[in-house]
Amino acid sequence: MSSNSALERTINKVLSQKEADLISQIDSAYQESLKNIEGSKGKLEDERTRIVESAKKQAENLKRQVVGSSRLAARNQELIMIESAVNNAFEQAKKKLASSGDKESYKTLMTGIIEESLSSVGSGQVTMECNKADADLVRNVISDLQKKNPKIKVNVSGESIDVLGGIRVISEDGTMTYDNTLNSRLEPRKPSIRKNIAHMLRGEA
């Protein structure tokens, strides 16, 4: 009996030791799991923060793109309106000039343009071009000028040019051309007209 009791005690001792070891391992694993969970919480929070910040950046980028596109569209629309207004202003100028061809004021203007052109090109035979509507007027002005100065030698071209008014003078040897048409006079004014119309559209006028 005593041998059996000794065996039981030994078995119980071994079992107790194994149980203690097992409990210790379980506890260690449990503590390690807690640490991993805590560590994971930090990583998850960092990831959540990263995702939120990324979403915010994307939202800001999208907002800037939308605002930029809206501003660009508004700017393009403004440019279209300005160009349309400039073209309308020039069309009105064309109509006014077209209807004033037989007026004395227009003849005075053309006389000044012709005198200026001849002075710029210099002496010698020149060819003068103009639109079809102004051909007779140009010939009359030249005739009047030649009466005052017989040295003026001008050949009025039989071919018309597509301009609002004014003339284009070509030297005898063809090396020099002086453009004194109303188109060339009006064209440099376009930037100023555009600027004025832009100020009006923005309420700055």
77-114 pLDDT, tens digit each = 877 877 787 777 777 776 676 665 557 778 888 899 99
* Domain boundaries defined on the chain: 1-99, 101-190
Question: Residue 8 above 70 pLDDT?
Answer: no
Chain-wide mean pLDDT for the chain?
A: 78
pLDDT digits (tens, 9 = 90+) for 110-163: 899 999 999 888 767 899 999 998 899 999 999 999 998 888 889 999 999 988
Residue with tokens 């051309």: 177
> What is the CB neighbour count within 10 angstroms for residue 126?
19
Long-range contacts of 130-135 (CB under 8 A, 24+ apart): 130/156, 130/157, 130/160, 130/161, 130/163, 130/165, 130/166, 130/167, 130/168, 131/160, 131/161, 131/162, 131/163, 131/164, 131/165, 132/160, 133/98, 133/101, 134/101, 134/110, 134/165, 134/166, 134/167, 135/160
Q: What is the CATH number of domain 101-190?
A: 3.30.2320.30
| DSSP label of 107 | H
Q: Which two tokens stand for residue 158?
A: 């039989």
